[in-house]
Amino acid sequence: MAQKGKKVMVTVRKPPHGSIYVQESIEVMFIFATYEMDLSVVFLDDGVLALHPGQDTKELGIKGFMASLGALVDWEVTNVYADRQSLKDRGIAEDAIIAIGKDDDSGAPIHPRVLDAAEIAAMMAAQHSIVSF
């Protein structure tokens, strides 16, 4: 297919739960992963708050999307990144961020990969298309 490998990025910059953007961005990731795309996902700015450990929306009375976020890898969304500075500013330890799936063989949790701003900027510059939330 001519389009195979077209580089597409989804960026998530909004905080979770106060609005639906993060949840609906995950629905986009799930679908994009089934298409012939070279998909990357970047959580930055308030978007990294979606990776905060221990989130539980039950008392809010809303379904939430933590289950979906924890299953990104199952849906073939594997190139997932988080911005180092955004985590640091928000007091989230890099080794504490939530898992987005498990390794098929070892069962070990898979986490988003933490990158510096310059690495993310370079990756953004290399995309064919970026969709942002």
- What are the tokens at 99? 């898992």
Residue 72 in contact with another protein, rule: CB under 8 A: no
Residue 20 in contact with another protein, rule: CB under 8 A: yes
16 vs 101 by CB, closer to another protein: 16
Distance between CA atoms of 133 and 22, rounded to whole angstroms?
Answer: 7
Q: Which of residues 29-68 bind another protein (CB under 8 A)?
A: 31-32, 34-37, 44-46, 49, 52-64
Beta-carbon contacts of residue 27 (< 8 Å; ≥ 6 apart): 68
> Residues in the chain, how many?
133
Residue 18 CB-half CA count within 13 A: 7
Residue 124 in contact with another protein, rule: CB under 8 A: yes
Which one of 16, 41, 72, 112 is in contact with another protein (CB under 8 A)? 16
Number of residues that bind another protein (CB under 8 A): 57
Residue 127 in contact with another protein, rule: CB under 8 A: yes
> H or E element: which one contains 24?
helix 21-33
Residue 108 in contact with another protein, rule: CB under 8 A: no
